[in-house]
Amino acid sequence: MTRPEILFPLFASLETLEGIGPKTAKALGPLGVEKPKDFLFLLPHTGVDRGRKPSIRDVIAPTTVTVEVEVGLHLPPRQKGRPYRVNVRDAQVEFQLVFFHARDAYLRDLLPTGQRRVVSGKIELFDGIGQMVHPDHVLRLEEAGNLPAFEPVYPLTAGVTQKLIAKGIDSALARTPELPEWIDGPLKAKEGWPDWRTALAQVHAPQGAADLSVDTPARARLAYDELFAHQLTLALARTALRKGKGRSSRGDGQLQAKVLAALPYQPTGAQSRAAAEIALDMGSPLRMNRLLQGDVGSGKTLVAFLALLVAVEAGGQGVMMAPTEILARQHFEGLRGLAHSAGVTLDILSGRDRGSERAAKLADLAQGRTHILVGTHAVFQKDVQFHDLRLAVVDEQHRFGVAQRMELGAKGQAVDVLVMTATPIPRSLALASYGDMDISVLDEKPAGRKPIRTALISDARMEEVVGHLSKALGEGRQAYWVCPLVEESEVLDYASAEARFAALRAQFGDAVGLVHGQMPPADKDAAMARFQAGVTKVLVATTVIEVGVNVPNASIMVIERAEIFGLAQLHQLRGRVGRGSAQSTCLLMYHAPLGASGERRLKVIRDTEDGFRISEEDLAMRGAGDLIGHAQSGLPRFRMADLERQAGLMAIAQSDARRLLADDPALVSPRGKAARVLLWLLDQDRAIKLLAVG
């Protein structure tokens, strides 16, 4: 497939634009400007009011002002390194234009004494005299009409000026063709969006600050184009994945019934709904690619296990993968009882298995004697062969991008994939990261889970907290005590885990354990195991316990210096308690005085346990990239769309993209062909490859 000819001018070399040579082209790289089209998508972030004023007397310095002046005397510097000054007078007052390192002849030519000019720049007061240092514009009266009343301001980088960018944008706009419309007609009319080319012209010529808002029709349209192209790529990936030979895995429900009968509680409505959605997907001839999204303690493991049983009922095998060995072991321990009640063979494969033990496990797997395997990513090594793998469940901590999901599908014959995530992600981000998947959400807590009491307390009341802890330990309860950093550091006064461990040990003796990220894995596992077994009563830890470990008897969570943790982290940490029948407490200890954002975060955590609400708040406070970490999130970087403020557009883009592909899978209708142009325009190479294969 080749790029459509209509786009050639926008994909030419930058040096084909007026005023751009090799050096400038190189300097533009950091701004992401490599082709003329990139200029079009470099949007202004603020603007400067260049509306003309009669005199600088009417303005409050320092501020940018545009005014007509009569040029007076030139005052060249008497000593080297001093500034060059030019006296000017507007309708009411005199002031000075100031230049550094300027050539005399150049300035006399630019500002001839006795003539009138329009100057625009930042006015400041020095000793009661107005000064404008290096005006942004010095124009003859006949040129002044070209100065926009409101000038857009673009992001800059070394060696690049506003003037250069404005020129590049004008030059790129001049060669921008009208393109066929890829947006659905009724949607475009309903939203009042302009045509693509008109939208570009409007965003680069704002008439005032209001035109810089993401909500203007022109900006919203360009954001939608970007989100639509992204969702079209994901929808094509989803179609390609499903086109791969899928297999229908239909269970008869017998094993699931045994497990449900053995449970001491009723599954929630959300669990039953998700299990039914998954079973329906597995029964269809298309490949399943589903995300199971649930908050801490919403019961994802049970839903995943019921799905694994569908695979076994259908005569196949299932695998559950965890990101770390400690979590794989925990899943294994947790599922053992359920597997036993269903009469299903469950095994675990990890990096620890060696020699004959490993060989025996592999033989059981290859012969089909092992029905369900739990493990880390080690289960995808070459020598691990399944007899008939039907379902892979991935317990993911954002380590699994679209590319890995596609790789996973290649192992085994058309394996159905279920990805579990314990991080509640706002819907817009879930669609950006997992738009190629279908999503099941667990938004109810299992019955009998008591809410966790959360309180804010200053670290000045440390003794009081330790006193309460002593009483609770006397009642047979267990506690986590989370500290922000491992070692004492001169620079940071954060209480360290080592020091806190020593202090609590002095008080409670051997009942205190320690676990942190810098310990050897075997020591970490041993410390966790002692706490799980109830040998240690207080576990002092860094955030390594944020993920996954289950100790139902632990009902107290103390988080020291809570104000320096992120919302998602605080929510995950709190979710380590409240897993048993006892009333649980989470104490957020902060160091006064609290900053505004620290206080806002702590209050959000105190006031709600709803992970989805917390994640929306987190998104509003921190922004999409920080929320899940750009590097590992697989989250695309959008140039025109703002995921925080345009979340609603993402959902529309997803349903629109899926609908277009359902009606026109090869994109050959007029709108389909226009959509192909959009994919080329926005560099969605993966989508283009998928179309070529299709």
- DSSP code per residue over 440-504: EEE-SPPTTPPPPEEEEEEGGGHHHHHHHHHHHHHTT-EEEEE-SBSS--SS--PPBHHHHHHHH
Exposure string over 67-78, b if 16+ CB within 10 A, otherwise e: bbbebeebeeee
pLDDT digit string, tens, across residues 74-108:
999 988 888 999 999 999 999 999 999 888 899 99
C-alpha–C-alpha distance, residues 277 and 300, integer Å: 14
Question: What pLDDT score does 397 carry?
Answer: 52
**Interval 268-274 mean pLDDT:** 92
**Confidence category of residue 443, pLDDT binned at 50, 70, 90:** confident
Q: Cα dist. 251→255, 288, 295, 312, 632 in Å?
A: 9, 15, 27, 8, 36
State both tokens at 25. Answer: 């082209």
Q: Is the pTM of this model over 0.95?
A: no
For the chain, domains (ranges, CATH) are 49-153 (2.40.50.140), 220-244+642-693 (no CATH), 254-442 (3.40.50.300), 453-608 (3.40.50.300)
**Interval 369-387 mean pLDDT:** 86
Exposure string over 156-167, b if 16+ CB within 10 A, otherwise e: eeeebeeebbbb
Question: What pLDDT score does 628 carry?
Answer: 38
**Interval 509-537 mean pLDDT:** 86
pLDDT tops 60 at residue 401: no
**HSE, side-chain direction, 13 A CA sphere, residue 682:** 27
Nearest alpha carbon to residue 71 among 127, 139, 3, 159: 139
What lies within 8 Å, CB to CB, of 471 at 6+ separation is none
Question: What pLDDT score does 622 carry?
Answer: 58
pLDDT digit string, tens, across residues 234-266:
888 777 776 666 788 998 889 999 999 988 888
Helix (H, G, I), strand (E, B) or coil at 336: helix
Q: Which of 237-246, 323-332, 443-452 reaches the highest mean pLDDT?
A: 323-332
Question: What pLDDT score does 341 carry?
Answer: 92
- The percent of residues above 70 in pLDDT, for the chain, comes to 89
